[in-house]
Amino acid sequence: MPDTDFPVQDLVPQIEALGEKLNAAKASITRRFIGQDAVVDLVLSSMLCGGHALLLGLPGLGKTRLVDTISTVMGLNGARVQFTPDLMPADILGSEVLETAADGTRSFRFIEGPIFCQLLLADEINRASPRTQSALLQAMQEKSVTIAGQPHALVAPFHVLATQNPLEQEGTYPLPEAQLDRFLVQVDVGYPDRDTERDILIATTGAGDDEAHAVFTAAELIAAQTLLRKMPVGEQVVELILDLVRACRPDTPDAPDIVNASVAWGPGPRAAQALMLMTRARALLDGRLAPSPADVLAMAQPVLIHRMALTFAARARGESLVQIIAQVADMTSRARSAA
C-alpha cells in the first residue's frame, strides 16, 4: 500500500525521472546482451526490489556477460566466484589470519572474501557442496556474515546473481528449498531466435565490441529501491496476489484440484512479498505509476516456480510447474474479475 508519509502526487516526478534513467540503463545493457529484453527486465526488476536472482540456462547463452554488463551499468563493484566441488566457505566469505608484528606480538586480522562486493556472480552455484552453498544464506538474507563469532556487514547495496545449468546434474548439489526461497526470482535464459542470433554474431565477432557505460551509481540504486517501495498498490492487485499465492499451496482451503493433485509443496509468505515488489518493478520499468493485475499475472511464474515442487506422480505424468502456475493464475484472475 502507499506510504502515507509520501503523498502519491509527490512521487510522480520521481517515478517519471527514474523511468527515464531505467530506459537508459536498459539501452546500455542490451547493446552487449542482445535480444533478451525479458531476461534483462527480470534481472533489473529483482535489483530494483533489492533482491537476488537465479539465472537458469545452458552454457554459452550470455549469462555471465549479462551480469558483468549489469554490474557496470548499475555502477556496482562486482565480483565473480566460480563454484566448484572443492570450494570452501572461507573462499567466499574470507578468513582470519594470524599475523606477527615487528615487536613479536601476534594478532588475528580478517581478510575479506569476494562476497564483500555489491554484485556477486555465483557461477554454477549448484556445483559447490551444501556446506559452501549455505555460506551464502546469511549474506543473502541479513546482508552480513559471521566469521569466528564476529559479524561483518556487507556493502550496500548487495545482490547475488547466481547461474545454474538446468540440465547437467552430474556432480552437482541441488539447492535446498530454504536457499531457493532467498532468490526473489528465477530467470530462465533460453536460446535466442534466428534474427537475434544473427545480430549476436555480427556484434561479437568483429574487431571491436560495444562497451557498457555506467548509468546508475550505488547510491542512486538504493534511492530507486526506496522509491519503489513507496509506489501505491491498489486493493485489487493486493487481493489477486493473495489469491494466487494461497491457491498454489496444496491441501489448503484455497487450493484448486490441480494443485492438490500435482503440487508437493507451495510458496510461503515470502513469495507474496516478492510478488508484491516485482509487480511494482514491472510497472516502473513500463513507465506506469502503479501496478495492475496484468503485472501480477506476468510475474507469477518467475516468482513462484522455484518455490514449488511437483509430486512424483505429477512428474511421471509429464506435468510442469509452468503449466500449473499458468492455469492457477488464469483461474484466480477470472475468479477475482467475477467477484
DSSP character for 305?
G
Q: What is the pTM of this model?
A: 0.90
- What local confidence, expressed as pLDDT, does residue 214 receive? 92
Phi, psi of 256 (to 5 degrees): -75, 170
CB neighbour class for 14 (10 Å; exposed up to 12, middle 13-18, buried from 19): middle
Which domains are seen in the chain, by residue range?
1-87+113-230 (3.40.50.300), 232-339 (1.10.8.80)
CA distance 310 to 155: 37
- In the 8-state DSSP scheme, what is residue 59? T
**pLDDT tens string for the chain (339 positions)?**
444 455 667 788 899 999 999 999 999 999 888 888 999 999 999 999 999 999 998 888 889 899 999 999 999 999 999 999 999 999 999 888 888 888 878 888 888 999 999 999 999 999 998 888 888 888 898 899 888 788 889 989 999 999 988 777 777 888 888 888 999 999 999 998 999 899 888 888 877 677 889 999 999 999 999 999 999 999 999 999 999 999 999 999 989 999 999 999 999 999 999 999 999 999 999 989 899 999 999 999 999 999 999 999 999 999 999 999 999 999 999 988 887
For residue 334 the three cell numbers come to: 477470472
> In this predicted structure, what is the pLDDT of residue 278?
97
